[in-house]
Structure 1
């Protein structure tokens, strides 16, 4: 087995426990990783600022992060986010989707993310709920001539399910749609995934995939778990996710990430 020289970890349900607290052992362990020049990279559907709030608690200043499930890779330096790589939603398909939503699904809340920006055209109840969750306030603006790394479409579960069905029958060949919650539909370019982000990060650090370890708890983590030298599923992960992992650690409420690093990297 190759020595692990890069760790990529999911955030929610992985680094964060069931009460959204950071694994209390992890900051010290990351300090030890830094001494050994082993980067610890957070990968999430979150925005750069959404990941930064967790990164700061872990002492991960100036370390790359994979935002929007890998649609944007970069890092903060002196409060400014610098891109390493990005994958934008196809402009024509983005505009066609926004037109379809406006015409056929006006009750669906549309949230556009580009770089560090979160843009909405109006403050509806779903936006206000999301704002409370992420502790951030969106910019109110028109979507005209906007670029996007991700769209987040929110509504009641029945309407989101109906929308998902409609979109799967439309000709959006360069765009991916997936449910992150029963009433959250995420939209990215179709080459975006945590697996692709892992490969880009390995290339950035000039490493082979065999020298990487990934940690996650959910279905969208499966491809990166399968691609890494060691893919670690959390103890709280569904059985199917665990079946795709190389190793299984303890749950997010029992410092599973810290245990995995101590067992497979700092052994």
Structure 2
């Protein structure tokens, strides 16, 4: 098959056990033509993804952020927004109201901004992993600003002890499951996004710029939010550590993220 672009998830797929790009992965991407589109697709905010494009020396390539909720054409050229779909402020308030019945940490994300309640262990962990600093406190003030500006959250993230997160997931799924995606990236996390978007929808918007069909894309993933992406592209690949549901829609299963699974497929198919 013809492969004209790569779209890949980051955490659990592209990064190694140290949450870094391995030397083999960097060499594999360096072997691709300079004008070959490499599109990162993640639940992360833009600022937590751009340093990876820099390491690939592809700072002008597009980003699919927040699982497709915020798509930008090129961080290098002013981060021109291609698509933006957010959770409205009223729903954000309802999520936070339900979460008050737990000790869960709630973070709000919009464009390239992260609003955390305080510098707790969850904020510290996310700052370390993503290399981004949070804006602390006054989340209700942020929501009020969104109400005035007709904006909202591109992502709401809930973090906490597994039992509380499961309870919170059940409550939010029952009340908002028809309008929101509730992703369980791990048993201590819920990542919340609008139901209307996905990594696949974000990719379609980007590919229109390149005149590349979905059938000519090689994509990689590991978790539930990667299923539409791997299912809709021409060649979807799951890493060995992926959920079984992800493997079920993939054309191929490669080695795990800590065994350079993405690099091995690129070497085999494109180099």
TM-score in same-fold range (> 0.5)? yes
| CA 254–108 in structure 1, closer or farther in 2 if over 3 Å, else same | closer
CA contact (8 A) 1:215 1:225 kept: yes
- Residue in structure 1 matched with residue 119 of structure 2 by the alignment: 123
Quote how far apart the aligned CAs of 1:152 are: 0.6
Provide TM-score, normalisation by structure 1: 0.88
Q: What is the TM-score of this pair, normalised by structure 2?
A: 0.87
Preserved CA contact (<8 Å) 1:213 1:230: yes
Matched, 1:175 2:180: yes
Is the counterpart of residue 142 in structure 1 residue 139 in structure 2? yes
Q: Counterpart in 2 of 1:206?
A: 211
Take 2:269 and 2:32, find their aligned partners in 1: how far apart are those partners? 12
Which segment is superposed worse, 248-257 or 9-18?
A: 248-257
Q: Which moved more, 1:149-158 or 1:252-261?
A: 252-261
Alignment of 1:209-220 (within 5 A): 209-220=214-225
Instruction: Give the match for residue 239 of structure 2.
Output: 234
Q: Distance in 2 between matches of 1:172 and 1:262?
A: 40
**Corresponding residue for residue 61 of structure 1:** 59
| Local SS of the residue matching 2:11 | helix
Residues 259 and 132 of structure 1: is their aligned pair in 2 closer, same or farther, counting only changes over 3 Å? closer
Q: Which consecutive unaligned segments of at least 5 residues does structure 1 have?
A: none
The residue aligned with 1:108 is 104
SS in 1 for 2:47: helix
Deviation string 1:13-61 (CA, Å, 9 cap, x unpaired) is 22211232313133344344334x3201111111111111222222121
Residue 161 of structure 1, CA deviation: 0.8
What CA deviation, in whole Å up to 9, does each residue of 1:92-114 have, x standing for no partner? 32233233334x33x22110111
Instruction: Give the CA deviation at 1:171.
Output: 4.5
Bigger mean CA offset, 54-63 vs 256-265: 256-265
Deviations 1:184-216 (A, max 9, x none): 111111122222222222223222111111111
Structure 2: runs of 5+ lacking an equivalent = 147-151
User: Residues 234-260 of structure 1, C-alpha deviation per residue, up to 9 Å, x if partnerless?
Assistant: 233344432321122233233222221
Partner of 1:263 in structure 2?
Answer: 268
Which is further off, 86-95 or 158-167?
86-95
Q: Structure 1 98/84 Cα, relative in aligned 2: closer, same or farther at 3 Å? A: same
1:112–1:152 contact (8 Å) kept in structure 2: yes
The whole-number CA distance in structure 2 between the counterparts of 1:108 and 1:178 is 16
Aligned Cα root-mean-square deviation (Å): 2.1
- CA distance in 1 between counterparts of 2:261 and 2:125 reads 30
